[in-house]
């Protein structure tokens, strides 16, 4: 039984399912199948959701509980799935076998590993799972969404192939000219013909150089086209995809996928051109070489096989290490992001040294993996370059022996060695494509999940929303897991100005996210007479605003941040400022509309950022305002002044508020979750 390595932090459960799928159904199934099907919570997949996911792929999981001693007494006839607690994190792993001293695990992070019984006892969580195959399962029942990331422009690609073939033909002509000079011009000493041939040779060389330049421009244009398309698709999914599917990937994993776009675009821009043009050139070159001399071609063919064998061996060698390198790059990226975004919070002595040590350890591990990868690549290139440098000398030596036997002319030997040097370039490029195929395939596979994320339903007609008077929840429930509901409301009405209270973790913020249409839900939510699910997302979010204590502020000035260079928003802010003197309110905290926002608001205090965010209510002029712990960072005097302004501005609008510090705009209706 084998297991593949997990690349995303939350994927240990589905990687184990993938391994069992291979064992029982004899096929490696794309991990994106499992990822799309499974329900994820913040920490990954819980037991019941993993059990439910397994059913879709013809696997039955039975969950058993037993203490460590019971586990030791258990006789293993088949591999078992278990949950371990390693470094205070729950982690799925497969128990392959055990004896009196050791346990063999198939781990999604480390692969096959042998651990002592004492180590395993410290990790064991008193849960094991048996996994069996469904005899009625059929692979044909699976339908996978595929996204073609090969977005090359056919016109430019075909033109580039045509130019590559033209360069090849010119190179053949130049080689033939050299052969003519050696076999005919030199023996006859015809200086006039030599002059004309030289002029022709110079013109062909000039045309060849121009074609090389044009081909380079075309390849760069193809690369930019693919890169821009991939970026556009990636950002579209990120901003329009379903939140629940996006949150299956951690921030570091998502950023790492974003870094793949450039290398994928470069590979895709070259692969079709290289394969088509280089194979065509290679075939014609081989035919010509055979025509010149069979014996010399056999020598060339032998070395071609050696070069491709080296590339294939390199591909097999780095296959497993590519997964490790991706994981180590992700871990280092995640820790670096934490350090950059929280550098002010990491000044406490113990935390500072801990993070420095962690970064140094991860960087060292990543550097060693990259060094190994680069060393293997350098070794491969060195071997291939050595062979391609050695072969012309061997060919020339063999050619001279054939000349001595009067079986070939000197010009033919020169033509042969020149052609070999020319076809070394397509040989090297094709071998590089073979060597890098695994790396790019892994990157494309991980990117494919993002590009296949379902987008939010936005094809509903606009219904021309009027003022919102009440929201009614009936038989309403929500949970990130099918088996664990965060919210479960039989019936509840939220009126014009409502305060939502409850203990931490009861789902208050989640409810506001649902009302903003960030998550799907079960049951009914009626906005006056309209079901929330039937309202177009764009229309709803134009008329609704959700403000949080940590809302995003992009770098610009305050006025542009609030109005987004939109005339309607600019007019709304102008009239609001005329009535409520909003700029003077900003002056009281030492900023104004034209204060510059640096580094996403890093030059502002939390209170200043809070007030700036709240002013978006006046520019957007929404019909409903959702406030989640918004006012906690404001000075009491500023809050009281802002509260009076908002009470007047929002008196006829739907306002739903959450605040543990009880800083409310209205205190009319209270709902407890």
End-to-end CA distance of the chain: 48
Residue 195, both tokens:
């002059």
Look at residue 142 in the predicted model and tell me its pLDDT.
Answer: 57
Give CATH superfamily name and number for 471-672. Answer: P-loop containing nucleotide triphosphate hydrolases (3.40.50.300)
The Cα 532–Cα 610 span in angstroms is 29
| In this structure, CATH architecture of domain 154-451 | Up-down Bundle (1.20)
* Tokens matching residue 123: 């990790």
Stretches where the chain sits below pLDDT 50 are 147-148
| Cα-Cα-Cα-Cα dihedral sign, residues 143, 149, 155, 160 | negative
pLDDT, tens only, 11-42: 999 999 999 999 999 888 888 889 988 988 87
> Among the residues of 452-516, which ranges form H helices?
508-515
**Going edge to edge, which strands form the sheet with 654-658?**
544-548, 624-628, 654-658, 497-501, 669-672
Contact of 222 with 272, CB cutoff 8 Å: no
Same-fold call for 12-141 versus 471-672: no
Tell me the domain boundaries of the chain.
Answer: 12-141, 154-451, 471-672
DSSP letters, 85-137, are: EETTEEEEEEEEEE-SSEEEEEETTTEEEEEEHHHHHHHEEEEEEEEEE-TT-
Q: What is the structure's pLDDT at 136? A: 85
**Whole-number pLDDT of residue 191:** 66
What would the two tokens of residue 145 be? 């969404």
Write down the pLDDT at residue 578: 93
Residue 62 is predicted with a pLDDT of: 92
The predicted-structure confidence for 567-602, as pLDDT tens digits, reads as follows 999 999 999 999 999 999 999 999 999 999 887 788
pLDDT of residue 667: 85
Burial of 488 (0-12, 13-18, 19+ CB in 10 A): middle
Predicted pLDDT at 587: 93
Contact 66, 486 (CB under 8 A): no
CATH 3.90.1640.10 fits 12-141, yes or no: no
What pLDDT sits at residue 403? 79
**Nearest Cα residue to 54 out of 87, 78, 18:** 18
């Amino acid at each position: 039984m084998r297991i593949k390595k997990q690349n995303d932090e939350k994927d240990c459960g589905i990687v184990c399912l993938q391994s069992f799928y291979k064992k029982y159904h004899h096929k490696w199934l794309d991990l994106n199948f499992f990822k799309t099907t499974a329900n994820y919570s913040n920490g990954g997949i819980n037991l019941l959701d993993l059990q439910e996911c397994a059913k879709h792929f013809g696997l039955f999981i039975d969950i058993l509980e037993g203490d460590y001693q019971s586990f030791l007494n258990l006789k293993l006839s088949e591999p078992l799935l278990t949950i371990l607690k390693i470094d205070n994190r729950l982690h799925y792993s497969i128990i392959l076998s055990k004896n009196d001293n050791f346990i063999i695990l198939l781990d999604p992070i480390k692969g096959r590993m042998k651990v002592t019984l004492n180590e395993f006892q410290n990790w064991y969580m008193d849960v094991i799972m048996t996994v069996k195959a469904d005899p009625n399962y059929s692979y044909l029942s699976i339908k996978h969404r595929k996204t073609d990331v090969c977005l090359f422009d056919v016109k430019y690609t075909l033109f580039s192939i045509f130019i590559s073939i033209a360069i090849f033909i010119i190179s053949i002509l130049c080689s033939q000219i050299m052969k003519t000079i050696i076999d005919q011009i030199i023996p006859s000493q015809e200086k006039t013909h030599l002059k004309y041939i030289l002029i022709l040779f110079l013109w062909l060389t000039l045309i060849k150089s121009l074609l090389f330049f044009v081909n380079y421009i075309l390849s760069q244009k193809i690369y930019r086209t693919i890169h821009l398309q991939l970026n556009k698709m990636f950002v579209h999914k990120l901003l329009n995809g379903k939140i629940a599917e996006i949150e299956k990937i951690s921030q570091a994993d998502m950023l790492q996928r974003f870094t793949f776009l450039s290398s994928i675009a470069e590979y895709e821009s070259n692969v079709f051109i290289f394969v088509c043009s280089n194979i065509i050139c290679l075939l014609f070159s081989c035919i010509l070489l055979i025509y010149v001399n069979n014996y010399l071609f056999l020598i060339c063919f032998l070395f071609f096989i050696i070069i491709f064998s080296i590339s294939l061996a390199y591909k097999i060698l780095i296959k497993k290490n590519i997964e490790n390198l991706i994981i180590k790059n992700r871990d280092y990226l995640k820790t670096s992001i934490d350090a950059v975004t929280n550098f002010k919070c990491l000044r406490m002595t113990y935390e500072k040294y801990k993070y420095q040590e962690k970064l140094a350890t991860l960087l060292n591990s990543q550097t060693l993996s990259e060094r190994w990868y680069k060393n293997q690549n350098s070794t491969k290139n060195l071997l291939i370059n050595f062979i391609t440098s050695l072969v012309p000398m061997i060919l020339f030596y063999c050619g001279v022996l054939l000349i001595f036997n009067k079986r070939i002319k000197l010009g033919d030997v020169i033509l042969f060695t020149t052609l070999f040097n020319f076809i070394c370039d397509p040989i090297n490029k094709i071998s590089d494509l073979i060597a890098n195929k695994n790396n790019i395939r892994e990157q494309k596979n991980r990117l494919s999940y993002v590009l296949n994320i379902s987008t939010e339903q936005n094809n509903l007609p606009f219904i021309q929303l009027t003022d919102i008077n009440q929201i009614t929840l009936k038989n309403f429930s929500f949970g990130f897991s099918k088996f664990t509901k965060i919210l479960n409301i039989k019936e509840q009405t939220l009126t014009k100005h409502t305060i939502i209270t409850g203990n931490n973790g009861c789902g208050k913020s989640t409810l506001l996210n649902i009302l903003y249409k960030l998550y799907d839900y079960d049951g009914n939510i009626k906005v006056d007479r309209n079901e929330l699910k039937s309202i177009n997302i764009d229309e709803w979010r134009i008329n609704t605003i959700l403000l949080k204590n940590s809302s995003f502020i992009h770098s610009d000035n305050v006025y542009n941040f609030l109005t987004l260079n939109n005339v309607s928003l600019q007019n709304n802010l102008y009239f609001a400022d005329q009535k409520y003197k909003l700029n003077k309110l900003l002056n009281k905290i030492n900023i104004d509309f034209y204060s510059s926002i640096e580094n996403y608001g890093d030059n502002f205090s939390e209170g200043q950022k809070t007030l700036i965010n709240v002013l978006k209510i006046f520019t957007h002029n929404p019909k409903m305002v959702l406030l989640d712990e918004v006012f906690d960072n404001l000075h009491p005097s500023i809050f009281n002044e802002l509260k009076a302004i908002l009470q007047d501005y929002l008196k006829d609008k739907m306002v739903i508020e959450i605040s543990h510090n009880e800083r409310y705009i209205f205190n009319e209706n209270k709902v407890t979750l």
